[in-house]
Structure 1
Amino acid sequence: MQSGPQFVIVSGALGSGKTSLLEALLACEDASDTAVIVNEAGEINIDGAVLSESGRGMSMATLSNGCVCCSMTSDLVTTVQDLVQFRRAAGKKLFSRIVLECSGLSRPGPIVSSLQELAELRLKLHLITTYDCSRPAMQTGDFEDAVAQLVGANTIVLTKVDLVPSGKRDEALRAVAAVNPMAHVVNEFSATVRARGAFQPQSNGAPVTGDVSNSTSGRRRLLHPRVRVFRAKLHKEVSWDGALDWLENIAGALGERLLRVKAIVPGENRSDRILLQSVGTTFSAPRRLSASTSAPVGAVIIARDCGRQELDEISTERVVSWFDYQ
């Protein structure tokens, strides 16, 4: 079955440059096969008005007066369905890209979960988070929201890079790499290059197994002690069912403390390799990797307020060997 449109969730702190990023993309390409959904926590749709000026031929919809991650997920599903039906009724091909620009208050986990109702569209999910170098959210009262947005991202975009000295820009780069070492980080001065890099789909991201002793060496020191990044190498004898049980146990035990999982596990045919990913405790559909992949089986887990001893206790059977980023 043919895959559906790319569904891009753009999150980031208030004022971190989400609208500017999307505006730069729409200004440099034909937007006739792009639909944009703007979620603003207010009645005046300023961002929607700005984007309408940039998007040539773009379809626009708005979700106002609420945060899409907590109170408006059903409205989001309905809006996507309406956009698709409108396109079909007009006799046009399905959108190649649907972009949801979230309010700065939104966390991606519940949004991803709500998209399960749109399974028939076979959306290709891509999560982008903007990170303001001039006002780093990891160092403000927005820490909890910032972590949820950063660890869920496939791509992290550094913004306001022209407003800060190089040292502060490097500090922001280290901060986001420490919290989400799996993400592709866009660190560009040009608004056009930054936008194109942000919306370029990423495949598997960083490798998920192996010894990390040479890759940390102080560069990925976490800036907040409550967030930890763990790397696990699955033992050769672990089966498909055993790997699923292990990940379900992790998700069930950690609950909201689980921020992100990316794992490569053996399939029912042990020579197969399956990619499993979660944002929070919401897992996306398993994805079979190509037969030519050389990736070993293993997982990266990002969690809050969790130590390795607790993970060892969750793994009652000998499933993995842990490598800790800290």
Structure 2
Amino acid sequence: MTGVRNRPALSVVGGGLGAGKTSLIARLLEQPGMGRTGVVVNEFGEFGVDDLMLGSSAPDAQLALLRNGCICCRPGNDLSEAVRKMIAAAPEPLVRIVVETSGVAELSAVLAKIGADHVLRGMVRLDAAIAVVDATAPDETRAEHIACADRIVVTKTDLVVPIAAAAIRRRIAAMNPTVPILDGQARPDPDVLFNAGLIDGRSGEVQADAWLRAQGSVHVHHHGENPDSIRSWLIETGPQDWTQLSQHIARMSRAAGPALLRLKGIVADRDDARPLALQMVRDQIYRPVRLTREAGDGRSRIVVIARATAAPAVEALAKRLSAAEVAIEVP
């Protein structure tokens, strides 16, 4: 765990075209708390504009540009290579790295790509998945972004009347009450915006409950189409056998297919007093992290975020984990 704490915290900022991702990052880079930060910009086209804007607002920042294609679907390890060069070139050790996705990328797909890149995961620790919502066009925000985010930032609130901005916040909170909603115009505190990972970036301690966010439930409907609705389930059981649990999760993943978006869990281990933290994005399972004995309370809690079509697979997982308990879905 000590080595993981010392790695730069990697956060992903996602949102639609023109949502204000670059402007948000530019404002953040101007703050003193954003020193020793690297930024990777993923442009869909061949010519990069966003990196020029960021370089102008923060000339001392470490910047890298990935052109012509989304991170989530392009082959190879361009992102890990860009991060490796950035870390090596930085005059001081980087504290955090921010990845700005292209406007057409899905947040969960980018997180899955990171999870599949073992080289990248050996250099950084995953921190926050941040969804940017354009206050002037809230209906264009993808339901998947809101469901999978650790933080949501509403941008361009200065361009709408206060009552409209408040209505957008209420709508987002109804869709996903488990995450903080921040105002991009108010220049969010970097520690509040980014500190969403398993390890607290300020203290270096494990923040299991804050990371798991097992309160409330995601309940997002995309254009009213029930098959595309996104839900979350909270599965609570007692201690589990890790080998059997991993097999059950793999079985659930195969059954759910692409409908599975994200899974997090703090699992009480039958054979070890120290609980395990596990995470899965789409079909990519991150290496489990062994926590301290104090981080556990004897319960296993697993949060699954998926489209409605995955319901049978998720509920079957819950039944396998505990014959006496079922997945709790909060409407």
> Normalization by structure 2: what TM-score?
0.80
Pick from 55, 58, 63: which aligns with 1:60? Answer: 63
1:266/1:84 CA distance change after superposition, 3 Å: same
1:162 aligned partner: 158
Q: What whole-Å deviation, never above 9, does each CA across 1:263-320 have from its counterpart, x for those lacking one?
A: 1211353532222122222222223334333653222211113264443345563524
SS at match of 2:188: helix
Distance 1:175 1:272 in 2: 39
Q: Mapping of 1:223-262 within 5 angstroms?
A: 223-224=221-222, 225=226, 226-236=228-238, 238-262=240-264
Which structure 1 segments of 5+ residues have no match?
A: none
Distance 2:80 2:310 in 1: 37
1:193 aligned partner: 188
Aligned 8 A contact 1:259 1:280 in 2:
yes
Q: Does 1:85 align with 2:88?
A: yes
Aligned 8 A contact 1:184 1:202 in 2:
no
1:187/1:60 CA distance change after superposition, 3 Å: closer
* Shift, 1:63, TM fit: 1.0
* Shift, 1:22, TM fit: 0.5
1:168/1:5 CA distance change after superposition, 3 Å: same
Aligned 8 A contact 1:21 1:194 in 2:
no
Which region of structure 1 is more displaced relative to structure 2, 148-157 or 32-41? 148-157
Aligned residues: 308
1:135/1:153 CA distance change after superposition, 3 Å: same
1:9 aligned partner: 12
* Shift, 1:237, TM fit: 5.2
SS at match of 2:320: coil
1:293 aligned partner: 295
Distance 1:221 1:304 in 2: 10
Pick from 278, 288, 299: which aligns with 2:280? Answer: 278
Which region of structure 1 is more displaced relative to structure 2, 31-40 or 291-300? 291-300
SS at match of 2:85: helix
Aligned 8 A contact 2:147 2:176 in 1:
yes
1:99 aligned partner: 98
Distance 2:82 2:65 in 1: 8
Which structure 2 segments of 5+ residues have no match?
A: 199-207
Aligned 8 A contact 2:240 2:270 in 1:
no
Distance 1:229 1:32 in 2: 37
Q: What whole-Å deviation, never above 9, does each CA across 1:129-178 have from its counterpart, x for those lacking one?
A: 11112212xx34x6xxx233333322111222233344543443344345
Q: What whole-Å deviation, never above 9, does each CA across 1:83-105 have from its counterpart, x for those lacking one?
A: 22334xxxx44211122111111
> Normalization by structure 1: what TM-score?
0.81
Which region of structure 1 is more displaced relative to structure 2, 100-109 or 262-271? 262-271
- 1:52 maps to a residue whose letter is G
Which region of structure 1 is more displaced relative to structure 2, 160-169 or 103-112? 160-169
1:306 aligned partner: 309
Distance 1:165 1:15 in 2: 20
Distance 1:37 1:61 in 2: 5
Distance 2:306 2:133 in 1: 20
SS at match of 1:35: strand
- 1:185 maps to a residue whose letter is I
Which region of structure 1 is more displaced relative to structure 2, 273-282 or 26-35? 26-35
Distance 1:281 1:176 in 2: 27
1:73/1:154 CA distance change after superposition, 3 Å: farther
Q: Mapping of 1:15-94 within 5 angstroms?
A: 15-29=18-32, 33-71=36-74, 74-87=77-90, 92-94=91-93
Q: Does 1:183 align with 2:184?
A: no
SS at match of 2:233: strand
Aligned 8 A contact 1:152 1:279 in 2:
no
Aligned-residue sequence identity (percent) comes to 25
